[in-house]
């Protein structure tokens, strides 16, 4: 039986500056080629990684929508939906 690091199957990233963290994705895939990589990102940054070939799933947090919305409850519901998706995927 290997260590937990040896058995990584899914990795969820939520790192500050999206552009500066792109090399991390390549390094993770190089070390764990069979892993599935998910990335949590704010809606304003989603297009930066949307077509990244090493990212299997993108979870978009509707932060801009929340800031601009008069119906904050709707935006909060979308945020909770994203959290539920992450939980359901067992990251």
How do residues 11-41 score in pLDDT, each as one tens digit? Answer: 777 666 787 888 888 998 998 888 899 998 8
d(CA 12, CA 60): 13
The yes-or-no verdict on residue 4 having pLDDT over 70 is: no
The DSSP code for 21 is H
DSSP string, 23-79: HHHHHHHHH-TT-EEEEEEEGGGHHHHTT-TT--EEEEE-HHHHHH-S-HHHHHHHH
pLDDT score for 58: 92
d(CA 83, CA 12): 12
pLDDT, tens only, 42-51: 888 888 888 9
d(CA 52, CA 23): 11
d(CA 22, CA 15): 10
Per the CB < 8 A criterion, the answer to whether 34 and 7 are in contact is no
């Amino acid at each position: 039986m290997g260590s937990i690091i040896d058995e990584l199957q899914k990795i969820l990233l939520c790192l500050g500056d999206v552009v500066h963290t792109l090399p991390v994705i390549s390094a993770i895939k190089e070390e764990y080629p069979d892993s599935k990589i998910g990335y949590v990102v704010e809606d304003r940054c989603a297009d930066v990684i949307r077509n990244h070939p090493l990212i299997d799933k993108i979870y978009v947090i509707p932060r801009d929508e929340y800031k601009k919305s008069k119906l904050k409850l709707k935006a909060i519901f979308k945020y909770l939906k994203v959290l539920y998706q992450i939980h359901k995927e067992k990251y």
